[in-house]
């Protein structure tokens, strides 16, 4: 008999709305002795079947739903899920502009905890949950079969794995993938370090936003904060920016950014790379009265969970306040949050407060989010993690 979880009375409502997460506080008791990642049946307090889910004994999210049907969760089930995700990307509008995109987007594609990014002829696979870890080898084999790509590199080194009781792991999973490669995006080339870079090597979710920044950057002096390997910067220089200054705390990322500038035959003399703390550098610019026509703020997660929201709000307020003060009249601020604990409404409220304290009048001229290859399932609003605003000051 399959192990099962029985919920407390009135705790089935989110599952009936098809939200995939089951928190530990909703569980009345566990029957059987499920292993980490093993599939369990979910019942309400009256014994009615609700779903099948992957069990995670150490996580506060104690189970993640595979299916709301009473069906087997096996290799054939996973093949159907992966095949659907891949077919959806085959019809994506991203393909004319890039050879790299997200192939599987975890809960939003019905496979909790599995991220798969395609970089040309290489797949980078990220396993974030106990359930995805349980099926890792089968998932890798299925990806080779369905995507027709033999090279898979694993980047299961995100901090969230510790919440699942999983050790970090990175390395070759299938084939012989290189650790560094070159991708193309909107006619530009980028070096990607899939072994050591952030996330799976590149911020694929910002593709459309990078392209937009390029369109807006012509004849402007631009400041790119938290620039990583210079994605926004290369787009800006290539589309006619007057000058670009890029700041990041990682010297290795800046070295790769400089290589990207050379790779695209862009003039080095109009670009400045600064290794340093963005908060300190912005204050230095303020004190020296240096200003810009356009500023990009794309920081790392300040609030991975709701418990860090208050501290994160102060951080977002601080950098946006400083950025508003550094903008010339008519200047543009492109500002982002990728913190799951900060929703779009709160982020807009924070940016509005920063503008008020900076003493500037500003308008939102465009709202931004992750690309279409990072879909948001309607039953999983947490999938809308990336929020962005294009603001214009008077």
Residues marked as catalytic: 338
DSSP H/E element including 221? strand 221-225
Q: Give the angle subtended at the CA of 249 by the CAs of 284 and 183, to the nearest 5°.
A: 125
Residue 198 Ramachandran class (φ > 0 left, ψ -120 to 50 alpha, else beta): beta
Put the strands of the sheet holding 243-248 in their side by side order. 271-275, 243-248, 221-225, 292-297, 327-337, 387-393, 362-368
DSSP H/E element including 355? helix 344-358
DSSP H/E element including 53? strand 49-55
With 0-12 / 13-18 / 19 or more C-beta atoms within 10 angstroms meaning exposed / middle / buried, residue 29 is exposed
Question: Residue 65: which residues within 8 A CB-CB, separation 6 or more?
Answer: 15, 18, 20, 21, 22, 42, 51, 52, 53, 112
d(CA 384, CA 341): 11
Question: Residue 314: which residues within 8 A CB-CB, separation 6 or more?
Answer: none
d(CA 325, CA 305): 29
Residue 224 Ramachandran class (φ > 0 left, ψ -120 to 50 alpha, else beta): beta
């Amino acid at each position: 008999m399959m192990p099962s979880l029985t919920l407390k009375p009135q705790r089935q409502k989110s599952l009936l709305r098809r939200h995939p997460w089951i928190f530990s506080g909703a569980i009345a008791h566990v029957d059987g002795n499920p292993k980490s990642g093993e599939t369990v049946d979910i019942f309400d307090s009256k014994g009615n079947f609700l779903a099948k889910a992957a069990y995670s004994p150490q996580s506060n999210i104690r189970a993640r739903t595979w299916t709301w049907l009473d069906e087997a969760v096996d290799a054939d089930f996973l093949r159907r899920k992966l095949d659907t995700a891949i077919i959806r990307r085959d019809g994506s509008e991203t393909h004319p502009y890039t050879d790299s995109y997200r192939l599987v987007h975890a809960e939003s594609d019905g496979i909790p905890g599995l991220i798969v990014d395609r970089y040309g002829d290489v797949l980078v696979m990220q396993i974030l949950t106990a359930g995805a870890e349980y099926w890792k080898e089968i998932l890798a084999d299925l990806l080779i079969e369905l995507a027709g790509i033999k090279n898979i590199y694993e980047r299961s080194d995100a901090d969230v794995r510790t919440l699942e009781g999983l050790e970090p792991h990175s390395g070759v999973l299938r084939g012989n993938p290189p650790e560094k490669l070159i991708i193309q995006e909107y006619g530009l080339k980028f070096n990607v370090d899939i072994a050591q870079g952030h996330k799976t090597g590149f911020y694929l979710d910002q593709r459309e936003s990078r392209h937009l920044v390029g369109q807006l950057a012509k004849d402007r002096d631009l400041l790119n904060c938290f620039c990583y390997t210079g994605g926004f910067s290369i787009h800006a220089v290539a589309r006619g920016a007057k000058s670009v200054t890029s700041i990041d705390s990682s010297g290795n990322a800046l070295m790769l950014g400089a290589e990207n500038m050379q790779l695209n035959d862009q003039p080095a003399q109009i670009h400045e790379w600064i290794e340093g703390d963005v908060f300190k550098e912005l204050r230095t610019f303020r004190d020296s009265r240096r200003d810009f026509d356009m500023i990009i703020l794309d920081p790392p997660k300040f609030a991975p969970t709701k418990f860090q929201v208050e501290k994160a709000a102060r951080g977002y307020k601080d950098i946006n306040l400083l950025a508003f003060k550094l903008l010339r009249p008519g200047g543009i601020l492109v500002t982002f949050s990728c913190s799951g604990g900060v929703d779009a409404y709160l982020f807009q409220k924070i940016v509005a407060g920063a503008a008020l304290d900076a003493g500037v009048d500003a308008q939102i001229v465009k709202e931004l989010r992750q690309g279409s290859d990072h879909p948001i399932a309607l039953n999983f609003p947490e999938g809308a993690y990336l929020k962005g605003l294009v603001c214009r000051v008077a």
